[in-house]
Chains A and B, each alone.
Chain A
């Protein structure tokens, strides 16, 4: 019974997700906010594996947003202008210099690059616990940001540099699919379906991993590291897998943002973004998959629709001399505090935590 209900619910959600854009203007602000919110949800799902499942507090998740976006910049634009590599791209991109791969290939490339980087960042944290992990990952997030800014002075040969710093890698390719054509910015619906498809894939992987040998190993490590290794769980491998998979999802979302924003600029990758994603995971419910989705969507809509489009003029109407966008971080902080007071387990708590918070004798 519950199984069929679950499938019905999942089917309903997918259909709703697919037909959703028909209710709104194809280039409306709401459509734009929805696309960004769904991409945030993908990132929240990635971070949830690291922080929620494995219990490794990562304050440098922005690093994978950056690496994913740069993967797109490197593999899908004229940035490396000496190279001429074209795989399954539009007729226009086919004639341009640079590396131009199909978006799906870039997505896979970004996932692989970020998974490798995730393992690399994970390595020095293996011997650390709790707060110390947070400090090391925080430092890595900052390092990537600085490398992104100064990458324009790092020469990789032939007059080409590693990044374009604050100038940004612009003129990146829009996604192109044979038979569909290139995505344009006048019709946002294809973008939405693309990121929605990515969300479904990431969601599927999350759900499968949660109820698996690997998922149990992560939770065991989170609960008691000593007992977990004594039960035969290899510490290094299991932790690095958590970092790598979380990073890969962040990278996929980052690659999408790269092409959606049509540029990859070092200024995008600030520390605050790591905290923003972490807030999504916490507000949704640490360790909860559906919580991460809801948290990502909620903060995405609040940040990109509610505050700038709907409520922005509110203070002015009340006779106050500021705009709501100027205090958005204050609003998020306030929301976090309210959440922690009223519902510390998050909007949709993880099953285990829900059990933990119910008294054992309750029916």
Chain B
């Protein structure tokens, strides 16, 4: 009714890195990096090999402790939190080189992803009261639903993860991460090893997931077609430093980025 347009509410920041630094001895793998991930967005982290992208991921998920700086998840400081605690607060991830539990079936892998959301302890597991039985059954059902959601079909659900074809393993890993019911999903090179058609399907699926599950997605990606197609913001790292940030089209035209990828023309 009002003729005056109300300004759009400022985007809520899901994740904020402030001056995050990681040094391994003398090697500074990640050097004073700050960036924000707005809620409900898809943000890409790109950069040449060895730029520090995965190191940054490992700090965001608690596998590495930063040497300096702060990491905030919403209002919460998770800089020195344990990985399992960070997962409980709504961050889940996949890995660059798929890390499924090879000796478990696809369904069991996804059930492990539910771990933080389940309550059965030692005595609950031994005596198995009705609420534990219900929890087990619900978890198993939900795991199967998730596997179907990421596009797997019934026959592979009970196969060992290590026996699945590569593309299916990637899907199981995403389902396992989704099982933790994350607010923020970190994908480390999800399209690595995929052909253009497969990565096209996955790109589309990232958007679907984001909208269906109200997710925020941060991904590391090398495939520029995927990056440009899916992300709303791009952060570029080189030698551990942030060299550019912004919308994909702007970043693509940035001379510093071109130089990092292609080298300087003398």
Contact = CB atoms under 8 A, between A and B. Distances in A.
Interface of A: 204-205, 208-209, 212-217, 219-220, 222-224, 226-235, 241, 245, 352-353, 355-356, 360
Interface of B: 61-63, 82-84, 87-88, 92-93, 95, 99-105, 108, 111-113, 115-118, 120-122, 125-128, 132, 136, 159-160, 162-163, 176-177, 180
A204 B126 CA distance: 8
Nearest to B139: A213
Given A352-B104, A356-B103, A213 B95 contact: no
A232 B160 contact: no
A216 B122 contact: no
Contact of A230 (B93, B121, B159): B93
Contacts of A229: 62-63, 82-84
Contact of B163 (A216, A231, A360): A360
B61 A230 contact: yes
A230 B63 contact: yes
B126 A232 contact: no
Contact of B112 (A208, A231, A234, A245): A231
Given A209-B125, A356-B162, A360-B159, A235 B84 contact: yes
A219 B101 CA distance: 8
A4 to B, nearest CB: 19
A142 B101 CA distance: 34
Contacts of A353: 103
A332 B116 CA distance: 43
Given A208-B125, A229-B83, A224 B112 contact: no
Contacts of B136: 212-213
Contacts of B159: 360
B120 A230 contact: no
Ranked nearest first, the 5 interchain pairs of A and B with the lowest CB-CB distance are: A232-B116, A212-B125, A232-B87, A360-B163, A223-B101
A288 to B, nearest CB: 12
Given A241-B122, A360-B159, A231 B103 contact: no
Contacts of B104: 216, 219-220, 223, 352
B103 A219 contact: yes
A232 B88 contact: yes
Contact of A232 (B103, B115, B122, B128): B115
Contacts of A245: 122
A360 B165 CA distance: 10
Nearest to A237: B84
B88 A220 contact: no
A232 B127 CA distance: 24
Contacts of B176: 231
A340 B160 CA distance: 24
A220 B112 contact: yes
A217 B116 CA distance: 10
Contacts of B163: 355, 360
Contacts of A222: 103
Given A209-B126, A223-B104, A216 B99 contact: no
B99 A217 contact: no
A227 B103 contact: no
Given A217-B112, A355-B105, 19 more contacts: A212-B128, A212-B136, A214-B120, A216-B112, A216-B115, A217-B115, A220-B112, A224-B100, A226-B63, A227-B100, A230-B61, A230-B92, A231-B112, A232-B88, A234-B82, A235-B84, A356-B160, A360-B160, A360-B163
A131 B147 CA distance: 36
7 contacts: A212-B125, A213-B115, A223-B102, A231-B113, A231-B116, A355-B103, A360-B159
B101 A227 contact: yes
Nearest to A208: B126
Contacts of B95: 226-227, 230
A159 B225 CA distance: 82
B216 to A, nearest CB: 17
A209 B125 CA distance: 6
Given A213-B120, A219-B101, A355 B108 contact: no
Nearest to A234: B84
A213 B103 contact: no
B87 A231 contact: yes
A205 B104 CA distance: 21
A231 B122 contact: no
A330 to B, nearest CB: 33
Given A223-B101, A232-B180, A356-B162, A215 B84 contact: no
Contacts of A214: 120-122, 125
A144 B153 CA distance: 53
A216 B83 contact: no
A208 B120 CA distance: 12
Nearest to B119: A213
A103 B125 CA distance: 26
Nearest to A360: B163
B84 A232 contact: yes
Nearest to A214: B125
A231 B100 contact: no
A230 B82 CA distance: 9
A230 B87 contact: yes
A231 B62 CA distance: 12
Nearest to B102: A223
Contacts of B99: 224, 226-227
Q: Among A231, A233, A241, A352, find the residue whose CB has the most chain B CB atoms closer than 10 A.
A: A231
Contacts of B111: 216
B245 to A, nearest CB: 26
A229 B85 CA distance: 9
